[in-house]
Structure 1
Amino acid sequence: MNRVTASSFLRIALASALSFSWTAHGFAQSASSGTEQQQQSTAEWPRSFESPAGATITLHQPQVTEWTGFSKLTALIASEYSPKGGSDPAYGVIEVTADTAADREADEVTLSNIEVANINFSTLGREQLADTSLEIGKLLPTAPITVSLTRLTASLDNYEQLQDAKGFGADAPAIFVSEKPAILLQTNGKPTTAPVKGADGLEFVVNTNWDLLATGDPATYYLRIENSWVSAARIEGPWTAVSELPAIFGKLPDDDNWKEARAAIPPQASKDGVPVVYYSDKPAELVVIDGQPQLQPVENTDLQWVANANSDLFFDSANNTWYFLASGRWFSATDLKGPWAFASENLPDDFRNIPDGQPYSIVRASVPGTSESEEARLQASIPTTARVSRTGVSVDVTYFGDPKFERITGTDMAYAVNTNFTVIRVGGKYFVLYNGVWFVGDTPTGPFAVADTVPDDIYSIPPSSPVYNVTYVRVYETTPEYVVYGYTSGYLWAFLAWGTLIYGTGWYYPPYWVYRPGYPPIYRPWRVTYGSGTYYLPGRGTFTAHYGRAYGPYGGIAAGGIYNQNTGAYIRGGRAWGPYNNAGFVSVRGPAGNRYWVADVNGNIYKSWDRGVTTTNRWSRDNVKTNAQNRWQKRDTSAISDARKNDLIANRDGNVFRKENGEWKQHEKGQWKSIRSRETGTNRTQRVEELRQSLDRQRASRDRGIQRVESRRQVERGGRSELQRPTTRRFQRRR
């Protein structure tokens, strides 16, 4: 078959199957068609097209069999071809390959350079096959297409096992469990104060996730909880309600840093009374249960779900043990008061049997061995890439005083500690990673140029180092004009470990302080694993965290007061963090307009650049001329019986299968026959059973793909998804 014409045929198939937008004008199923496209993406199978000569091509959902290096994709397409006036269709399998580039934020994968690797219509003779090739070839010329990343990854069957990284911390954090309204007051190390500008005698605690101020001698602490305040002589408590604040609070600056605090003056009485205040000077987790645990049985397991908790908490009646999920890790205890121990490596098998469609089903994505966990791991391993102009981007690195470096344990490298930039010294060179782009210079202050190579030593940095995430950003291609960079989700602190996807390294990195006589100390926090109620959200394919009453108004422990070296002032609530709205903090751009999001790893970091950086999908599409017209007409398939919808599956041998009355059958010599193995002897029954199981898995994968796409759309529209937690009320403030 002619490769150009076959490639054109493939575009119809892949586009129909995987929810896409096409760059060529005139094609009816563009992603820009809104509701129509959404309906088409979840339509039933198969889908048929009529050629200008009257031939009918019926396409069944493609099966992605390989994705080598997440840059080269291979797929099988089961197809039916009927010439004009023909009766029985010819069944065949087409194997195709394509180059790919993924954009997780847009949920897109761009496919280009599509070629046919093999075509097998076993019932057609040589002349018939040639005629078929000509008919199929009367389509649009070559052009890239985009497909849904969510649906693609969900539909992969038997994908090669991805390897876990090693060296992550497995120690349990402090886990507090309360059956009364409670909050978690955290400081990142010993509580440290700085003066409030313009309010002599009033100080704020820099390294906390709450509005926590102190005044008097000896000092009294004042903690804002929404519109109420509580006070204590010691940060550990006990805390009591405050009906009137000291007069010095009236001098809080009238700016965004203290907007919420000023709005809570004078204090208002809390409707729920004073909550329990738990304190920790390291990242911790808080489980709030609304009274006694309400245990809801999990069908066909010994598990019970705590339905009235603000977090994922289960009880296993088989071993009288509690299980708590935080940051993709499981912890267990025989008593809710603890002690808690790491449990991801010995999680009971019943967790894999948790059913779909329940409020607690979201945890399946964090259970090793489930399809949801494998999909999460697969998505986390797909690189987001961009083409970076060698002359179009730059970085200016500033320090708190003279540059200071600390050695990376186990290596000869060192990293800068007194800056908000990631600077690594390798030999006599200084490498800067900023918003997904590597730069290199001869001095710690530059000037820096776009790096077209990165030393292999950098990729030996262990997870015990706070700059470990740099090992997930690589150079993919270089030319005299540009460099192609890419990162996987480890750059934003989501890692493959213990058979699932986790958030954070599990190591605690103490913050770096710069003390200056007569000036407030400078606080430089590192990324933390715990302290934010972080959980995986399958509907978006990302980790996120809950905010509000339990974990403080600023999210997590590392989001308290951050010093902005560009303005010389503290930024309350982490407003200086985040290169791209909801993409997690990687560097500092200043306080204007950036919203802190503690753990979302789904955004595209490269979109934070104003110029000089082109995302992969965009440059692939921009380089294509799209002036052709589609000359195929889509046919109505509503009359096709339900028994034939969404069931045609192909394999590499050119065989086509479908399910009839609950039994898988294979098309042979114009007839559908019960599947069989060509082998004889004792292996025959085993091979047939393995084939049945494989076909069942592939059909289940197709159904998951459709479900995941629809779930993602619901999340993006702001609605509920069955893959989300059971409404955000579990994380909202009490009213």
Structure 2
Amino acid sequence: MTTLRILLLTLFVAGSYAAGAQDEWPRIVNSTNGSIIKVYEPQPESLSGNILKSRAAVSIQKDAQSEPVFGTFWSVNTVETDRDNRRISVQSVRIPNIKFPEEVDAATISYVKTSLETGLPAVQNDLPLDVILTSLEANAEQKKLSQDMGTKAPKVFYASKPSMLVSIDGEPKFKENKDWGVSVVVNSPFTIVKNNDGAYYLYGGKKWYKAPKPLGPYAYAANTPDNLDKVAAAVNNQNNAEAGYRDSSDVAQSDQVLDIITTTVPAELIQTQGNPSFTDISGTGLQYAENSENDLFLDTDAQQYYVLLSGRWYRADKLNGNWSYVAANALPSDFTKIPEGSPKDNVLASVPGTSAAREAVMDAQIPQTAKVDRRNASTSVTYDGQPKFEQINGTQMDYAVNSQSSVIRYNGRYYAVDKGVWFVSDSPDGPWQVSTERPAEVDAIPPSSPAYNLKYVYIYDVTPDYVYMGYTPGYLNNFIYGGTVIYGTGYAYTPWWGSYYYPRPYTWGFGVSYNPWWGWSLGFGYGHGWFNGGFGYSAWPGWCGGWWGPTIYRPPFRYHSGYYRPGFYGPRYSYYGRGGNSRPLPGGRMGGRSAYNGGRVVNNIYNYRNDVVSNGRYGGSSRPGPAGRADGFNGGRGGAGSSRPGFNGGSSNGGGRVAGPGSNNGRVYTDGGGNVYQRGNQGQWQQRDRSQWQPVDNNRRETIRDLNRQQQMQNRGEQRSQNFQQFRNNTPQGGGRPQNSGGNFSRPAPSGGGNFSRPSGGGFSRPSGGGGSRPAGGGGSRPGGRGRG
């Protein structure tokens, strides 16, 4: 075995041990009378909003020498979720029911119940989200919300050599940028300028491309007019200023000249490196294009091509033919047979009936939660002119069409959603205060409305000081449809054009693909300096307001070298894949956005606010770690709110984890009737009968089947959790927190020539200069026209 392989295996085992040790069961609940109360791994029954209902086994001993008595308790838990780190923490617990054998008296049961309600938040402060997820059943109500999605095929281009699809939102709209001395297309994330020589230039990947017309054809320009140097410098400086952006030879594509394809309508690009080369997928009649970054397949029986675009399947009889939509449940059955761990298992999340699809659907229903400070939370909304509202079809609500902010008028009041927080006002101009309710008709907003994603921002509870809110991935353009997850609604919305250009959520054109832990990412190539990083300003709000959902959000970039991708699902010993597959290089710009970025992923929109508490973070502070262990693993760092556990010395106080019984690694299961089970040393299921474990009769096949299923789901959840840790640990570091010190998002102004919106220059400046107020809301005005508020 090579030294490299040994090192990778060592890292994997170490990472797996760390993850496993962190989630050991059972755990000890504090006791005031000297008894020992142990709780076992929770078995989730439902998760709705921030309420997790579960059951779990519990045991009580008078002292360390006495025999434990086992029982079952059912709990209703208020939880906080941390989707970035894939963890759930229990904040409060109510025990509606608890069951013990008859020999346990009522006083003892009452004591255990009270102890659990008091102590469970400490010992369940840090639970693995993926284990919870795999144990849950899909929520039918949420699936019902996502209907009538757009599935019409976009315009599909096919190329057999490296190409770049440059999307423009309608016909090019030019505005003069005085800092640059040229006119610039403002309705595209790409840098397209009209120069003084009458030619058009596109800048991307550290190269200039030249064309006689704004839509091309573009050809590589080795030499360009000197006045364009300041444009390139501004774009480069802005990109380099974004945390996590990697400007190095492995991503800069310094030697690669691309064919440029422009489009003014929704479109996607399928490309192969040379003629397509298809490889068999074991156990199926399918082949996949091994020399393509697209999820491109050939059904050898029917001689039909299939491609996955924004989570939707399309079919054609030739690559440059007419592509038509195929409902996911109408795919050839061989798609369900794609092996987990294989290079193309990433598409399983888009194949109904697979475990990956089920988990993706469940994950899309798990919210990111926070509590909002009622006294201090605020927002501001600016319109391009006087507020203008249009009706949302099928509702009694109207939405503001001439604002970058999300504003709804309903029953004479105005509601705004800013960075996942609901606000309300009696005037469209404010002042705004935290809302304690959301309009009842929000759930009726159809996908044909650009306000559709607001239905995925929720209000759960209200106290005098806080409002508990949360959002599911639908707020970030990730929806459930037809038993799978998809990206975008599929509708092409009309942007706002006035003194300003405000884009609306886009579905097509950026080659998005799904990651089971961090959602959707932009396709290969888009991170290589192709986007103008300065487009965070008002002239082109970009990821700061519209194209991909809420303000300030943009999906991560996806970096690869080679075309093979290792499987997301199933165990693996390294991130290098199998059978000689090339090593991917995920990562990319962060700028506070989510990214394939090890250890410091920021996909939590609430992290951009200084007026919410999200998973224990307030204004950027760290979340408390889990409670201490009682088995000598935790160096005495016990108690709720402690640091994450280590692996040295320990205390038996303050809540903790204890070594489990025998071969079952501490797992004890319950059924719906409250009976308690474990798997014995010989692999046979045993049921607790008074003070002994008795074998489960093999004739009780349904019971054994249910127990096997529970164990399989938890094992799969643990594997997902390990894969996530491994994926994250093998991803390039690059920063990822918002570029602020705990407050709302702020970002330095570009150096070396402005982008469109600085009061001192660009042709698309704000309505008011001075303090540089943004035309959109989003947390307040921008000081000095520099950072974002």
Give the TM bin, normalised by the shorter chain. 0.7 to 0.9
| Native 8 Å contact 2:278 2:287 kept in 1 | yes
Say whether residues 1:672 and 2:694 are aligned partners: yes
Look up the SS of the partner of 2:119 in the other structure: coil
Look up the SS of the partner of 1:709 in the other structure: helix
| Native 8 Å contact 2:408 2:416 kept in 1 | yes
Deviation track 1:568-625 (CA, whole Å, cap 9, x = no partner) reads: xx3686567898876769xxxxxxx9556699997332332223x3336569989x99
**Change beyond 3 A, Cα 1:51–1:403:** closer
Larger displacement relative to structure 2 (180-189 or 48-57): 48-57
2:473 pairs with one of 489, 492, 512? 489
Deviation of 1:447 (Å): 2.7
2:172 pairs with one of 191, 194, 211? 191
**Change beyond 3 A, Cα 1:533–1:78:** farther
Deviation track 1:44-88 (CA, whole Å, cap 9, x = no partner) reads: x7789999999887765332223355414222226596975568x
Alignment of 1:441-452 (within 5 A): 441-452=425-436
Give the distance between the partners of 2:21 and 2:319, measured in 1 at CA.
49
**Change beyond 3 A, Cα 1:695–1:175:** farther
**Change beyond 3 A, Cα 1:119–1:316:** same
Aligned counterpart, 1:717: 729
Give the distance between the partners of 2:671 and 2:231, measured in 1 at CA.
70
Aligned counterpart, 1:706: 718
Deviation of 1:215 (Å): 2.8
Say whether residues 1:227 and 2:203 are aligned partners: no
Aligned counterpart, 2:614: 615
Larger displacement relative to structure 2 (598-607 or 153-162): 598-607
Give the distance between the partners of 1:283 and 1:37, measured in 2 at CA.
45
Deviation of 1:509 (Å): 0.9
1:656 pairs with one of 658, 661, 676? 676
| Native 8 Å contact 1:76 1:652 kept in 2 | no
Aligned counterpart, 1:14: none
Aligned counterpart, 2:568: none
1:277 pairs with one of 260, 276, 279? 260
Deviation track 1:381-434 (CA, whole Å, cap 9, x = no partner) reads: 233333333331222222222322333234443222222111222243322222
2:126 pairs with one of 133, 147, 150? 147
Give the distance between the partners of 2:446 and 2:394, measured in 1 at CA.
8
Give the distance between the partners of 1:627 and 1:251, measured in 2 at CA.
51
Aligned counterpart, 1:377: 361
2:147 pairs with one of 166, 173, 193? 166
Deviation of 1:507 (Å): 0.6
Aligned counterpart, 1:287: 270
| Native 8 Å contact 2:26 2:657 kept in 1 | no
Deviation of 1:464 (Å): 0.5
Give the distance between the partners of 1:157 and 1:149, measured in 2 at CA.
13
Aligned counterpart, 1:430: 414
| Native 8 Å contact 1:475 1:485 kept in 2 | yes
Say whether residues 1:531 and 2:509 are aligned partners: yes
**Change beyond 3 A, Cα 1:36–1:396:** same
Aligned counterpart, 2:521: 544
TM-score between the two structures when normalised by the length of structure 2:
0.70
The one-letter code sitting in structure 2 at the alignment partner of 1:425 is R
1:65 pairs with one of 33, 45, 57? 45
The one-letter code sitting in structure 2 at the alignment partner of 1:210 is F
Aligned counterpart, 1:726: none
Look up the SS of the partner of 1:342 in the other structure: strand
| Native 8 Å contact 1:214 1:220 kept in 2 | yes
Give the distance between the partners of 1:437 and 1:703, measured in 2 at CA.
36
| Native 8 Å contact 2:349 2:356 kept in 1 | yes
Aligned counterpart, 2:531: 554
The one-letter code sitting in structure 1 at the alignment partner of 2:191 is D
Q: Identity over aligned residues, as a percent? A: 31
Aligned residues: 640
Deviation of 1:545 (Å): 1.9
Give the distance between the partners of 2:316 and 2:641, measured in 1 at CA.
64
Look up the SS of the partner of 1:332 in the other structure: strand
Give the distance between the partners of 2:728 and 2:322, measured in 1 at CA.
39
| Native 8 Å contact 1:78 1:93 kept in 2 | yes
| Native 8 Å contact 1:461 1:471 kept in 2 | yes
Aligned counterpart, 1:298: 281
The one-letter code sitting in structure 2 at the alignment partner of 1:185 is V
Give the distance between the partners of 2:161 and 2:299, measured in 1 at CA.
23
Alignment of 1:584-599 (within 5 A): none
Give the distance between the partners of 2:416 and 2:16, measured in 1 at CA.
44
Give the distance between the partners of 2:436 and 2:657, measured in 1 at CA.
50
Larger displacement relative to structure 2 (653-662 or 470-479): 653-662
Alignment of 1:193-592 (within 5 A): 193-200=174-181, 202-215=182-195, 219-250=198-229, 252=231, 255=234, 274-343=257-326, 344-514=328-498, 522-540=500-518, 542-546=519-523, 548=525, 553-554=530-531, 561=535, 564=538, 570=539, 574=543
Deviation of 1:257 (Å): 7.4
| Native 8 Å contact 2:57 2:676 kept in 1 | no
| Native 8 Å contact 1:78 1:656 kept in 2 | no
Say whether residues 1:182 and 2:163 are aligned partners: yes
Larger displacement relative to structure 2 (325-334 or 187-196): 325-334
| Native 8 Å contact 2:202 2:210 kept in 1 | yes
Give the distance between the partners of 2:269 and 2:604, measured in 1 at CA.
30
| Native 8 Å contact 1:436 1:486 kept in 2 | yes
Deviation track 1:142-182 (CA, whole Å, cap 9, x = no partner) reads: 36232335234334154554523212111112222322111
Deviation track 1:342-367 (CA, whole Å, cap 9, x = no partner) reads: 22241223222222222322222222
| Native 8 Å contact 1:52 1:632 kept in 2 | no
The one-letter code sitting in structure 2 at the alignment partner of 1:429 is R
Deviation of 1:534 (Å): 1.5
| Native 8 Å contact 2:154 2:267 kept in 1 | yes
Say whether residues 1:108 and 2:65 are aligned partners: no
| Native 8 Å contact 1:193 1:204 kept in 2 | yes
Structure 1 unmatched runs, 5+? 1-33, 516-521, 565-569, 586-592, 678-687, 722-735
Give the distance between the partners of 2:594 and 2:433, measured in 1 at CA.
30
| Native 8 Å contact 2:510 2:526 kept in 1 | no
Structure 2 unmatched runs, 5+? 1-14, 241-246, 557-589, 628-638, 643-650, 734-789
The one-letter code sitting in structure 1 at the alignment partner of 2:731 is G
Deviation of 1:332 (Å): 2.1
| Native 8 Å contact 1:431 1:441 kept in 2 | yes
Deviation track 1:316-358 (CA, whole Å, cap 9, x = no partner) reads: 2233222222222222222211312222241223222222222
Look up the SS of the partner of 1:362 in the other structure: helix
The one-letter code sitting in structure 2 at the alignment partner of 1:604 is N
**Change beyond 3 A, Cα 1:297–1:672:** farther
Look up the SS of the partner of 1:699 in the other structure: helix
**Change beyond 3 A, Cα 1:422–1:99:** closer
Deviation track 1:81-127 (CA, whole Å, cap 9, x = no partner) reads: 6975568x6554444443323332353333244344444454x7346
| Native 8 Å contact 1:74 1:96 kept in 2 | yes
Give the distance between the partners of 2:41 and 2:201, measured in 1 at CA.
61
**Change beyond 3 A, Cα 1:198–1:494:** closer
| Native 8 Å contact 2:310 2:507 kept in 1 | yes
| Native 8 Å contact 2:28 2:656 kept in 1 | yes
